[in-house]
Structure 1
Amino acid sequence: MNMKQTRNWVAVGVLAAVAAGCGKQAVKDVDIIKESYQAGEVLQAAAESPKGVHASLERHRPLMIASFVNIDNVQGSSTLGRMLGEQVGSYFSQHGYDVIELKLRNELFIKEETGELMLSRELKDLTQEHDAQAVIVGTYAVAADTVFVTSKVIRALDGVILGSYDYKLPMGPNVKALLQNDRYKHR
């Protein structure tokens, strides 16, 4: 092989390596705090708007916040789920609401067959004890390269959804790390 042929084969090899690397690009992280605050903003706007006879959120009454849970395991959460709940709660706190943390996941219940969110009697008791007007809850579903998130503000009195917001987080390195302790992440 002469020098020119060798250079051509090296060039072909380099191009093949570059093309193979381009086929699978790394997923980049988004600003998770920004996404959580956007969710809080949308929930607040929706829940503060009067809906016919349904009363809207009042700033002088507290809200309860729950960790967001994996939709495949509503009895548990992950670092990501706890952080999303904390950040949405932080948004409401920064905007004048008294936010009470609800760390107990067994206080909320999702019917397996319908996926419908229900407020348990224990949660109603807790909201009455704290005079909480609503609960902020959320679920997430882990896909191949995306985490789909649903957040809701639910009126404590009767379980009416005052506002909801759906968004997605790309499965970048930070999101993957925050899901490490979620045993349902690969379902």
Structure 2
Amino acid sequence: MLITLFNAQRASVISRAALMSLALLLLAGCGTMGNANNTYAEPEPDLSELVHAAAEQMIASNPELTRYSPMIAATFVSIDNLSQSSTLGRISSEIMASALSRQGMEVREVKMRDSMFIEESVGELILSRQVQRLSAQHNARSILMGTYAQGQDFVYVSARVVRAGDAMVLGSADFRLPLNNNTRSLLEGQGGW
């Protein structure tokens, strides 16, 4: 009887140890579940992060760029139709102007003045024939311009700061934005995607 009691206690200890080992294995497996390489996916960069990095790149490639202040900002336009923009084009221009301002560029706000025609659905489009007239009107030495193109998985954005007097490119930066639901929503205003 004593041997039976000893064997029962020993079996109980072994069962508890086996259960504990099994529980630890299950917990360890939960930590890597769905992630075979045990690495975590980085979140996609958002528009603001990409634009601020592009502005830093633009100033780094030409530190003298801030000498061409004040600057006015034109709405970024679709590369497929330079007279068409979208919410993406308007907000990209706004964020880039803000980012360049943080880098030391003086930015003149033109939406506050009546002298520049602003079409509600397009924004402050500046075509090459208007550059000199508008820069003189706003006493600007440079103009921020940009284009974007939609691909299958990304939207490609190209931004430039051009000298107002002769449209010479003073600085440029490019980036690509993942084409996710947020980006598609920003593009909807351009009349299709």
Relative to the length of structure 2, the TM-score reads 0.65
1:144 alignment counterpart = 152
Q: Is the 8 A contact 2:75 2:126 kept in 1?
A: no
Deviation at 1:58, TM superposition (A): 0.9
SS in 2 for 1:124: helix
The one of 67, 80, 83 equivalent to 1:58 is 67
* Distance in 2 separating the partners of 1:178 and 1:106: 17
* Distance in 1 separating the partners of 2:56 and 2:144: 13
The one of 104, 108, 112 equivalent to 2:126 is 108
Q: Which has the higher contact order (CA 8 A, sep 6+)?
A: 1
The one of 157, 161, 173 equivalent to 2:165 is 157
1:180 alignment counterpart = 188
* Distance in 2 separating the partners of 1:98 and 1:92: 8
The one of 48, 55, 64 equivalent to 2:63 is 48
Q: Is the 8 A contact 2:158 2:172 kept in 1?
A: yes
* Distance in 1 separating the partners of 2:166 and 2:147: 20
1:11 alignment counterpart = none
* Distance in 1 separating the partners of 2:79 and 2:109: 20
Code of the residue aligned with 1:40 in structure 2: it is A
Kindly indicate whether residue 140 of structure 2 is the aligned counterpart of residue 132 of structure 1: yes
Deviation at 1:177, TM superposition (A): 1.0
SS in 2 for 1:84: helix
Deviation at 1:45, TM superposition (A): 2.5
Code of the residue aligned with 2:52 in structure 1: it is Y
Q: Is the 8 A contact 1:29 1:171 kept in 2?
A: no
1:13 alignment counterpart = none
**How many residues of Structure 1 are paired with residues of Structure 2 in the alignment?**
141
Q: Is the 8 A contact 1:150 1:165 kept in 2?
A: yes
Deviations 1:161-180 (A, max 9, x none): 11111211110121111111
SS in 2 for 1:58: helix
Using a 3 Å threshold, how does the CA distance of structure 1 residues 166 and 95 change in structure 2: closer, same or farther? closer
* Distance in 1 separating the partners of 2:96 and 2:74: 10
Deviation at 1:139, TM superposition (A): 0.4
Structure exhibiting the larger radius of gyration computed from Cα positions: 2
* Distance in 2 separating the partners of 1:67 and 1:106: 5
Q: Is the 8 A contact 2:74 2:125 kept in 1?
A: no
Kindly indicate whether residue 51 of structure 2 is the aligned counterpart of residue 36 of structure 1: yes
Q: Which consecutive unaligned segments of at least 5 residues does structure 1 have?
A: 1-27, 50-55, 110-118
Relative to the length of structure 1, the TM-score reads 0.67
Deviations 1:110-154 (A, max 9, x none): xxxxxxxxx32x331221233211111110001111101111111
* Distance in 2 separating the partners of 1:159 and 1:97: 18
* Distance in 1 separating the partners of 2:66 and 2:106: 12
SS in 1 for 2:176: strand
Deviations 1:74-125 (A, max 9, x none): 112101110100000011222333212456467533xxxxxxxxx32x3312
